[in-house]
Structure 1
Amino acid sequence: MPAPDAIAYVRAALPPAPARVLEIGAGDGALAQVLRGAGYDVTAIDPVGEGDVLPVPLLELAPSEPFDAAVAMTSLHHVEPLEASLCHLAERLLRPGARLVVDEYDVAALDERAARWWLDKVGKQDEDPAHFVAHMRDHIASVPRLREALAVHFDVSEPVPGAYLYRHKLGLEHRAEEERLIAAGEIPATGSRFIAIRR
């Protein structure tokens, strides 16, 4: 289940129910289930989807009636091919004026201090934080790259940074500590939330 603050962010950013919503990279479908419970008409997709999550990548989703909004919760950084997929989203899946609600892991902000904190928390004290940072940056798209690709078709709001690492294999009990460290300038904020409006 997504973190409560992430669910609240998505709910606040979406148009009123019963809007048609596309969830990109829906994973196990937990967020889609929450949104359906709130009255939204949700189509959830993921390349490895099961059950109520359609097993299809974004680029291959057949267009139907345009969606009123889309949500990408820590999933857009995995979308490939990125530019072609976002073009398909904008030109064939979303109506003009539709919102794309983005909640991301910003690997461009990740540094060795944040990596060391997270590695210690997950019991990987022997792993080199510099190697971890390099690995993450090599394997997922950064928020600046996502925003640049989106800007071709969307008006993109300024990102709001925040805590993210507690959500990755840790849990809510670590959120307050991460936020305290961010506020003290001891680690960077590696979460990023923004909204993109389809032109």
Structure 2
Amino acid sequence: MIGAKELFGLGALLLTFIAFFPYIRSILRGQTRPHAFSWMIWGASTFVVAMAQLSDGAGVGAWPIAVSGLITLLVAWLAYRRSAGMHVTRVDWAFLLLALSALPFWYFTETALPAVIILTGVDLLGFGPSIRKAYTHPYEENVAFFLLGAFRNAMVLLALEHYSWTTALFPAAVGVACLLFAALVAGRRLVTRSGLP
């Protein structure tokens, strides 16, 4: 018999696919132009956090995070392939280098929690290039995707089989970041539509 944790885990996994399928389709159609640097950072950190969560007993709550990490790496590849004409600034490079320099630190930690703290920070740094881009080009991002991401992370939290900082920090922080990013994009659309800078 399937329990509540498994149902939340399956629901979060289903939401992962529901969110990513139209997002990837919109990239292929040229409607969405994600920043490749952000998605590289998110893919690497998300997958490693899933491994740390599994090591701390997250169970089915880690499955959607692991799948999301793999699909995020696919989005990074698509974003890179379609990035002709993308303006990469020194700030974008700084975010990417900061994030990539933090990734090896998880190896040197003796428990999963320091790795999750570092990688959560890395993942949040991944929003940097996208925030910069969305501020000037808010119509090149997909608000619904990030709202679904926030809801999916709430379901991940409900699916966790063991609650600790190691298992809950990442989905909680990323869920809040997705909400804030969606609000930024929606707000910038309103501002640009009204003709303000």
Using the size of structure 1 for normalisation, the TM-score is 0.35
- Larger strand fraction of residues: 1
Q: Relative CO higher for 1 or 2, CA cutoff 8 Å, sep ≥ 6?
A: 2
- Larger helix fraction of residues: 2
Using the size of structure 2 for normalisation, the TM-score is 0.35
